[in-house]
Amino acid sequence: MVEYRRSSHTIYDIKYHVIWVTKYRYKMLRGKIAERLRDLIRQGCEARKITIVQGSVGKDHV
């Protein structure tokens, strides 16, 4: 069963599909850059209490 978030007057379950692309789709998200980007995204989501359901870092997009 889905875990719903609750507020004083609402019950909700919101999901977003986010794609971030490098300028001109340059293939620069490799190696340490890709690892650092993944870590930064995870830290930002943890700080905002966002659950990542699925994620991947490609060479030119996240």
The pLDDT-based confidence of 1 (bands split at 50, 70, 90) is low
pLDDT at 14: 87
Is-contact 27 60, C-beta < 8 A? Answer: yes
Mean pLDDT of 43-57: 93
Q: Which two tokens stand for residue 51?
A: 């659950």
Query: What percent of the chain has a predicted confidence (pLDDT) above 90?
Result: 69
**Helix or strand or coil: residue 38?**
helix
Place of tokens 């993944």: 38
Can you give the residue ranges of every domain in the chain?
16-61
In CATH, 16-61 is 3.30.70.1290 = yes
